[in-house]
Structure 1
Amino acid sequence: MGQNLQSGVRLRPIDLARGHGLSTQAVRNYEEAGILPVADRTPSGYRTYTPLHARALGAFLALLPGHGHRAATSIMRAVNDGAVDEALRLIDESHAQLLDDRRTLRAVETALGDLDPGAGRERPAPSAPGDTFIGPLAAKLGIKPATLRTWERAGLVRPRRDPRTGYRVYDEAAVRDARLAHQLRRGGHLLEQIAPLIDRVRAAGGLEPLEAALGDWHRRLSARGRAMLAGAAELEAYLRERG
């Protein structure tokens, strides 16, 4: 271990817990989960911790906001097992996921920007004359009708069926979803990646509300990135203490 540790200092579970607003049971649970190094025991069986345990707890709690509970736990377990390279690999995976989320956000913004001004905006319920069928819609998008059917099976587009003919009928919401799916596919996104984005549009109530939510999406990604930096600093301090 590093020489800067106060090796003679002994801490109780309550000492670690109070510093972070935790319960003593949470501290014990973290030790049992491998997040903290194994504590020494007194002759009577009570746990005793050291400043190293306090540093480990601080590192874990700093990792949580950026990496999530599962990844932060795995990172700390790897460090405590001496598998630092594995811990660094797990951190790389979290950064890769954040980068992928940023790319997804950029793709959504690009797709929205590529739509015609006002296309797909939420309006009062469309009248029947505004509906379209699979052939005209496919021609307008420059794709095959079979592609629209594939998107329908994947949940990207939800046309209704004409009760008399059984033909697919695309109202304004379905056309909006098809246009957005088309732009995202052109951007290289897979169907399973597009489906959650289409769901966001539907949950938001259309493109305009989604556009308003993009700023919040940006803020959350930035906060996650900064949290990862803070977590990295605390983890590096813990690694130095371990030596």
Structure 2
Amino acid sequence: MGRNLQNGVRLRPVDLARGHGLSTQAVRNYEEAGILPAADRTAHGYRTYTPLHAGALRAFLALVPGHGHRTAASIMRAVNEGAADEAFRLIDESHAQLLEDRRTLRAVESALRDLDTATVSEPALSAPGGTFIGPLAGRLGIRPATLRAWERAGLVRPSRDARTGYRVYDEADVRDARLAHQLRRGGYLLEQIAPLIAQVRAAGGLEPLETALRDWHGRLSARARAMLTGAAELEAYLRERG
């Protein structure tokens, strides 16, 4: 690190800030958070930065899109503290999470394909006025208690028959139950399934969800590429530190 700190080039906070579209306060905040190495001070107490600090700032800003602000900050703190292995571990965790997100997306797509096939090949599970818990559970090959557990977890939201108080599952409830069934068979937990079914409801059904799935693919690809960009800038910073 000393090689760059002693190369004679001195930068003011405003120089770093302007080069990255930041405020000078943001630059000072990043230094105080350990994202940048500690700055030298002039005789009058003003901060002075070097090209090494500029490299640290570039690395941090490049890491944020792929890893998020908190993880990117932790990576930079670890590097600046000389704990490179900890920084690499944090990077590995982000890559592992991205892989898990890809697996989840594949599971959702597989479940939706199976759901489409079942919808075409099987008789309708929901009558015009809805269906009750016993017939629905029987057709799905599960116990009524399972449907009740899914209801408590928010996966299905049946109404109640005004006269008998029995649960009544309409077409949307049957769709959600089928999707939950496919995902459970794929090994997903109820707490993992709930937000996916919420997304189906927000999209207005399965067909509009296709756009959401394409967007999901795009976000994962963008995140993967951002991780590559962040890795390149971090490697450059590590070389500068020596």
Instruction: Bin the TM-score by the shorter chain.
Output: over 0.9
**Aligned residues of 2:35 and 2:56 also touching (Cα < 8 A):** yes
- Aligned equivalent of 1:165: 164
Letter in 2 for 1:59: A
Please give the alpha-carbon distance, in whole angstroms, between the structure 2 residues aligned to 1:87 and 1:31: 18
Q: CA deviation at 1:211?
A: 1.4
Tell me which stretches of 4 or more aligned residues in structure 1 moved more than 6 Å: none
Paired with 1:174 and 1:17, the residues of 2 have a C-alpha distance of 53
Contact 1:161–1:169 under 8 Å retained in 2: yes
- What residue is the counterpart of 1:132 in the other structure? 131
8 Å CA contact 1:34–1:77 kept in 2: the answer is yes
Matches of 2:110 and 2:118, distance apart in 1 = 15
Partner AA of 1:214 in structure 2:
L
For 1:94, give the aligned amino acid: S
Residues of 2 paired with 1:23 and 1:4: CA distance?
24
Query: What aligned pairs does 1:1-243 form with structure 2 within 5 A after superposition?
Result: 1=1, 3=3, 7-117=7-117, 119=119, 129-243=128-242
Are 1:2 and 1:241, in contact at CA under 8 Å, matched by a contact in 2? no
What is the rounded CA distance, in whole Å, between the counterparts of 1:190 and 1:213 in structure 2? 22
Query: TM-score, normalized by length of structure 1?
Result: 0.94
Q: Distance in 1 between matches of 2:68 and 2:18?
A: 22
Shift of the alpha carbon at 1:9?
A: 0.5
Q: Which amino acid aligns with 2:103?
A: R
What secondary structure does 2:68 align onto? helix
Give the aligned residue type for 1:184.
L
Tell me the distance in 2 between the aligned counterparts of 1:117 and 1:6: 68
* Distance apart, 1:129 and its partner CA: 2.8
C-alpha distance in structure 1 between counterparts of 2:129 and 2:84, whole Å: 61
| Counterparts in 2 of 1:134 and 1:202: CA distance versus 1, 3 Å | same
Summarize deviations over 1:171-201 as a string: whole Å, max 9, x none.
Answer: 0110010000000000111111101100100
- The alignment partner of 1:132 has SS state of coil
- Does the 8 A contact of 1:5 with 1:241 survive in 2? no
**1:154 partner letter:** A
**Equivalent residue, structure 2, for 1:123:** none
Counterpart-to-counterpart distance in 1, 2:3 and 2:41: 22
8 Å CA contact retained: 2:156, 2:176: yes
Structure 1 residues without counterparts, runs of 5 or longer: 121-126
Instruction: Give CA deviations for 1:94-129 in whole Å, capped at 9, x if unaligned.
Output: 111111110111011000000135949xxxxxx973
Do the aligned partners of 1:98 and 1:221 also contact (CA within 8 Å) in 2?
yes
**Whole-angstrom distance in 2 between the partners of 1:118 and 1:207:** 13
TM-score normalised according to structure 2 size: 0.94
Q: For 1:116 and 1:226, how far apart are their aligned partners in 2? A: 32
C-alpha RMSD of the superposition: 1.7
Asked if the contact 2:4/2:51 (under 8 Å) is kept, the reply is: no
Q: For residues 1-38 of structure 1, what are the alpha-carbon distances to aligned partners after superposition, in whole Å with 9 as ceiling and x for unaligned?
A: 27577721000001111111111111001101110000
In 2, Cα distance between the equivalents of 1:236 and 1:66?
15
**Letter paired with 1:15:** D
TM-aligned CA deviation for residue 87 of structure 1: 0.7
